Amino acid sequence: MILALGEDHKMNKRVVFLLILGLFLLTFVNAIPPVQTTIVADVGLEISATNFDYHKQNEYHTFRFRVYNTSSQEYFNDEEVNCSFGLINSRGDYVFNQIPVVTDDYLFVVNVTGGNFSEVGAYHEGINCITDDGTIGAFPKIISFEVTPTGEELTTAKAILQLGFIALLILLLLADLFSIMLLPDKTTKDGQGLIMDFGNLKYLRPLLLLVAWVILLAIFFLASNIAIAYLTAGMFGSFLFVVYKIMFVLTLPIIFVWFIWIFVKMFQDREIKSMLERGVSIGEI
């Protein structure tokens, strides 16, 4: 009996020893950091894309990039790597997402319509590529740019310059209208209303009227651009641009009618002048 108790005591000691050893080994194993795979900087994929700062609102754009091996400098096509392209606006919303198309010269191409650039503000182009077997990937390429109404940087200096042009055009328009008021619009008549002589200066009036129309057209064009670019609400700028487009469409018919009217008046005056030279006294036609 005593011998049996001694054997049980020895067995219990072994179990406790093995349990303590197991806990020690488990803690030791957990302390060892997990195995990590590190991609060396000169081994992997690199995305080469064109950077740009500004893009015009509602205008079509083609994004292009290439993917190459950083060690061999060889380019990849879509049969070797899988790439995705995304476009994010200033609110963080995805406005466009597509798998790029590859051309013959290993150029990845993404065509984005102008409707995806309807909002003014910051946009972010994101590109991510990985090999077909998923073993090698590239660091995501992020390119940020600004969408503006003109496709250029909006600065106070440009705004002041454009306002200066508008002020100059307004002065020219006023000077033109004042000159029109000073020019005679009829032929010279005597006290009885008979034509005595023709004044050639009257032909300058329709010419100056045409110049006034062109100046007014330029004023509306510049004003609409400034309003669209710098005013938060684009409705006023859009209205001015619609007025400009209507005036621009009417310009060619106005010029056509203007030429016909000038030639008709010159022909009539020539006939009347010929009659006056023959001594015929007539009233103004």
Q: What is the pLDDT, as a whole number, of residue 153? A: 81
Domain total in the chain: 3
Phi, then psi, of 51 in degrees rounded to 5: -90, 140
CA distances in angstroms from 161 to 88, 166, 247, listed in the order given: 33, 9, 24
Residues 188-212: pLDDT tens digits? 555 555 555 555 667 788 888 899 9
Contact by Cβ (8 Å): 53, 146: yes
Contact by Cβ (8 Å): 103, 110: no
Contacts 24+ apart (CB under 8 A), 182-188: 183/208, 186/284, 187/269, 187/284
The domain in which residue 14 lies consists of 1-36
Instruction: Quickly tell me which residue has 């690199």 as its tokens.
Output: 46
Residues 222-270: pLDDT tens digits? 888 888 777 766 678 888 889 999 999 999 998 898 888 888 877 777 7
Cα–Cα distance for residue pair 251/261, rounded to 1 Å: 15
Q: What pTM was computed for the model?
A: 0.53
CATH number at residue 134: 2.60.40.1220
Contact by Cβ (8 Å): 190, 196: yes
Residues 117-161: pLDDT tens digits? 988 889 999 998 888 877 777 778 888 999 988 888 877 888 888
pLDDT greater at residue 195 or residue 162: 162
Whether residue 234 is contained in a domain is answered as: yes
Whether residue 132 is contained in a domain is answered as: yes
